[in-house]
Amino acid sequence: MKNNLAGIALALTFTLLFTACPSQQTYYQIWMTAGTLADSYINLYDPGWADKAQFDQAWATAGADIQNWQKGTPCQDTVQTISDAVNLLAELPVVTRQQMLLMATIVASVDVVTSFFQSCQGATARTQGRLFPPEVLAVADKLPPPKSADDVRKLWKQAGGK
Q: What is the pLDDT of residues 134-161, one digit of tens each?
A: 999 999 999 999 999 999 999 999 999 9
What's the rounded Cα separation, in Å, for the pair 44 and 41? Answer: 5
Domain-embedded: residue 11: no
Domain-embedded: residue 89: yes
147, 162 Cβ separation under 8 angstroms? no
Phi, psi (5° rounding) for residue 92?
Answer: -70, 145
Domain count, the chain: 1
Q: What is the pLDDT of residues 74-132, one digit of tens each?
A: 788 888 899 899 999 999 999 999 999 999 999 999 999 988 887 666 544 444 546 88
pLDDT confidence of residue 8: 35
pLDDT confidence of residue 122: 55
Which ranges constitute the DSSP H helices of the chain?
Answer: 2-20, 24-45, 52-68, 76-89, 97-116, 118-121, 134-142, 149-158
What's the rounded Cα separation, in Å, for the pair 76 and 115? Answer: 13
Domain-embedded: residue 7: no
pLDDT confidence of residue 21: 56
Domain-embedded: residue 31: yes
Domain-embedded: residue 28: yes
pLDDT confidence of residue 6: 35
Domain-embedded: residue 56: yes
Domain membership of residue 121 as a residue range: 23-158
Q: What is the pLDDT of residues 16-51, one digit of tens each?
A: 333 345 688 999 999 999 999 999 999 999 999 999
Domain-embedded: residue 9: no
pTM over 0.75, yes/no: yes
Domain-embedded: residue 145: yes
**Helix pair angle (24-45, 52-68), 10° resolution:** 170
